[in-house]
Chains A and B, each alone.
Chain A
Amino acid sequence: MKTLINIFRELAGLFIDDGLFALAIGVVVVLAAIIAAIAPAAPIAAGVVLLAGCLGVLLGNVTSTGTR
Chain B
Amino acid sequence: MTIAWTSVAPAVSAAFLSSLVEAVEALTIVLAVATVRGWRPAGLGALAGLATLALIVIALGPLLDRVPLHALQLVIGVLLLLFGMRWLRKAILRAAGVVPLHDEVLAFAAGTAALRDQAQHDTRLDWLAGLAAYKAMLLEGLEVVFVVIAVGAGRGLLVPASIGALAACTLVAAVGFAVRRPLARVPENALKFTVGVMLSSFGVFWTGEGLGVPWPGEDLAILGFAALFLIAAVAAVRLVGLPAVKALP
Contacts and interface: CB of A to CB of B under 8 A. Distances in A.
Interface of A: 10-11, 14-18, 21-22, 25-26, 29, 32-33, 36, 40, 43-44, 46-47, 50-51, 54-55, 57-59, 61-63, 65-67
A59 B211 CA distance: 24
Contact of B229 (A10, A55, A62, A66): A55
A50 B208 contact: yes
A interface, by DSSP: helix, strand, loop or mixed? helix
B225 interface: yes
11 contacts: A15-B83, A21-B89, A25-B85, A33-B211, A36-B213, A47-B215, A51-B204, A55-B232, A58-B89, A66-B98, A67-B240
**How big is chain B's contact interface, by range?**
35 or more
A19 to B, nearest CB: 11
Contacts of B88: 58
Contacts of B93: 62, 65-66
B208 A46 contact: yes
Contacts of A15: 79, 82-83, 86
Interface of B: 78-79, 81-83, 85-86, 88-90, 92-93, 96, 98, 139, 142-143, 146, 200, 203-204, 207-208, 211-216, 225, 228-229, 232-233, 235-236, 239-241, 243-244
B225 A66 contact: no
Contacts of A11: 142
Contacts of B143: 14
A31 B228 CA distance: 20
B142 A14 contact: yes
Contacts, number: 110
Closest 8 CB pairs of A and B: A66-B240, A47-B213, A15-B82, A36-B211, A47-B208, A62-B236, A17-B86, A66-B98
A26 B204 CA distance: 12
B81 A25 contact: yes
Nearest to B139: A10
A50 B82 contact: no
Contacts of A63: 236, 239-240
Contacts of B229: 55, 58
A65 B216 CA distance: 34
Contacts of B208: 32, 46-47, 50-51
Nearest to B82: A15
A63 B233 CA distance: 11
Contact of B86 (A10, A21, A43, A51): A21
Contacts of A51: 204, 208, 225, 228
A58 B231 CA distance: 12
A40 B211 CA distance: 10
B85 A54 contact: yes
Nearest to B196: A58
Contacts of B211: 32-33, 36, 43, 46-47, 50
Given A46-B213, A66-B243, A54 B90 contact: no
